Chain A
Amino acid sequence: LAKTTQPISMDSYEGQEVNITCSHNNIATNDYITWYQQFPSQGPRFIIQGYKTKVTNEVASLFIPADRKSSTLSLPRVSLSDTAVYYCLVAPEDSGGYQKVTFGTGTKLQVIP
Chain B
Amino acid sequence: NAGVMQNPRHLVRRRGQEARLRCSPMKGHSHVYWYRQLPEEGLKFMVYLQKENIIDESGMPKERFSAEFPKEGPSILRIQQVVRGDSAAYFCASSPPGTANQPQHFGDGTRLSIL
Question: Bound complex: CA of A49 vs CA of B101, how far in Å?
Answer: 9
Question: Bound complex: CA of A101 vs CA of B108, how far in Å?
Answer: 18
A103 near B103 with CB under 8 A, answer no
Other-chain contact of A97, B35, B44, B99 (Cβ < 8 Å): B99
- Residues in B whose Cβ lies below 8 Å from that of A99: 95, 100-102, 104
B-facing mask of A5-32, CB < 8 A → 1, else 0? 0000000000000000000000000001
B100 near A98 with CB under 8 A, answer yes
Closest B residue, CB atoms, query A4:
B42
Please tell me if A53 contacts chain B, counting CB pairs below 8 Å.
no
Interface size class of A (residues with CB under 8 A): 20 to 34
- Residues in B whose Cβ lies below 8 Å from that of A100: 45, 48, 56
A105 near B41 with CB under 8 A, answer yes
Please tell me if A110 contacts chain B, counting CB pairs below 8 Å.
no
* Residue of A43, A96, A100 most packed against chain B (CB within 10 A): A43
| 22 sampled A-B residue pairs with Cβ under 8 A | A41-B108, A42-B108, A42-B109, A43-B4, A43-B91, A43-B93, A44-B106, A93-B100, A94-B100, A96-B56, A97-B98, A97-B99, A98-B95, A98-B100, A99-B102, A99-B104, A100-B48, A100-B56, A102-B45, A103-B42, A105-B41, A105-B42
Known: A36-B106, A44-B106, A100-B56. 12 other contacts (CB 8 A): A41-B109, A44-B43, A44-B93, A46-B103, A96-B56, A97-B98, A98-B31, A98-B100, A99-B95, A99-B101, A105-B40, A105-B41
Instruction: List the interface of chain B (C-beta within 8 A of A).
Output: 4, 31, 35, 40-45, 48, 55-56, 91, 93, 95, 97-109, 111
The 6 closest A-B pairs by CB, nearest first: A43-B106, A103-B42, A93-B100, A103-B43, A46-B103, A32-B101
Instruction: List the interface of chain A (C-beta within 8 A of B).
Output: 32, 34, 36, 41-46, 49, 87, 91-94, 96-106
